[in-house]
């Protein structure tokens, strides 16, 4: 059995979710996975991006991150999806990517993989759980195997969100506890996918 292929597919306007995605990639690599870290395409008009200095800066800083395609999910044994909260829901940019996946879904090529999600909001009751649950709805439709972090590691009692790693961006960039939680979540996803892969015919 080869290593687990993990796709980390995310949207981030101002860098918070990008930082979580990078921590998840570290955790997954430590667990032995092949990782594809991919941003989804920006769909906001250039005037909107340029009107916010942090947004324009983040677009520039992540110019070298490859843009996600359906092939990244087709390749993957497991996927972690990340999005900022938008009114308690998934960002339109990540949703637009998800909505390109009809043909893969129809062929059953999204089923049987391990899925998990992470997010950020600006305030502590700003909709992190509803955003993660919205992504779970997608995973149900795909026939995915949802692997949340729960309280399965001591770090989860500090980070505090059993649905998925999350960060309150209004309190500053993600700190050590949140980054550890992101690494842990990715390790758990990889370990679960490895166990499934080992039990499946090649």
Ligand X SMILES: Cc1cc2nc3c(=O)[nH]c(=O)nc-3n(C[C@H](O)[C@H](O)[C@H](O)COP(=O)(O)O)c2cc1C
- According to DSSP, the β-strands at 34-39 and 145-146 are unpaired
| DSSP annotation of 72 | H
Span of 104-112, 116-124, 151-159, 194-202 interacting with ligand X by CB under 6 A: 116-124
Q: Is 134 in the site for ligand X (CB under 6 A)?
A: no
Separation CA 17–CA 202 (nearest Å): 34
Which stretches of 11-54 are assigned E, i.e. beta strand?
Answer: 34-39
Is residue 174 close enough to count as binding ligand X by CB under 6 A?
Answer: no
Q: Which of 9, 17, 110, 189 binds ligand X (CB under 6 A)?
A: 17
Beta carbon nearer to ligand X, 107 or 123: 123
CB of 14: closest distance to ligand X in angstroms?
3
Compute the least distance from the CB of residue 154 to ligand X, in Å. Answer: 26
The single-letter DSSP state of residue 171 is: G
- In degrees to the nearest 10, what's the CA dihedral of 149, 154, 159, 162? 30
| Of 88, 153, 192, 196, the one binding ligand X by CB under 6 A | 88
Span from 32-40, 79-87, 147-155, 176-184 in contact with ligand X (CB under 6 A): 79-87
Cβ-based nearer residue to ligand X, 5 or 16: 16
Q: Which is nearer to ligand X, 74 or 129 (CB)?
A: 129
Task: Tell me if 12 contacts ligand X by CB under 6 A.
Answer: yes
Residues 6+ apart with CB under 8 A from 64: none
Residue 159 found at the interface with ligand X (CB under 6 A): no
- CB atoms inside a 10 Å sphere around CB 137: 10
65 touching ligand X, by CB under 6 A = no
Count of residues in contact with ligand X, rule CB under 6 A:
19
Considering only the stretches 85-93, 96-104, 135-143, 144-152, report the one whose residues sit in contact with ligand X under the rule CB under 6 A.
Answer: 85-93
| Shortest distance, position 65 Cβ to ligand X, whole Å | 13
Where does this chain bind ligand X (CB under 6 A)?
12-18, 84-88, 120-123, 126-127, 169
């Amino acid at each position: 059995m080869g290593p687990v292929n993990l796709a980390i597919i995310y949207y981030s306007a101002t860098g918070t979710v990008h930082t979580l995605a990078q921590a998840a990639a570290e955790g997954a690599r430590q667990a032995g996975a092949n990782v594809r870290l991919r941003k989804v395409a920006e769909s906001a008009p250039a005037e909107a991006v340029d009107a916010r200095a942090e947004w324009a800066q983040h677009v520039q800083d992540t110019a070298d991150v490859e843009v996600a395609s359906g092939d990244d999910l087709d390749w993957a044994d497991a996927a972690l999806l990340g999005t900022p909260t938008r009114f308690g829901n998934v960002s339109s940019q990540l949703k637009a990517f998800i909505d390109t996946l009809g043909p893969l879904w129809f062929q059953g090529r999204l089923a049987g993989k391990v899925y998990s999600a992470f997010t950020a909001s600006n305030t502590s009751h700003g909709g992190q759980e509803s955003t993660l649950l919205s992504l779970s709805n997608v995973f149900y439709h795909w026939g995915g195997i949802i692997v949340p972090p729960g309280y399965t590691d001591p770090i989860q009692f500090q980070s505090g969100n059993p649905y998925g790693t999350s960060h309150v961006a209004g309190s500053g960039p993600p700190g050590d506890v949140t980054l550890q939680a992101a690494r842990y979540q990715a390790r758990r996803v990889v370990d679960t996918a490895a166990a499934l892969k080992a039990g499946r015919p090649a």
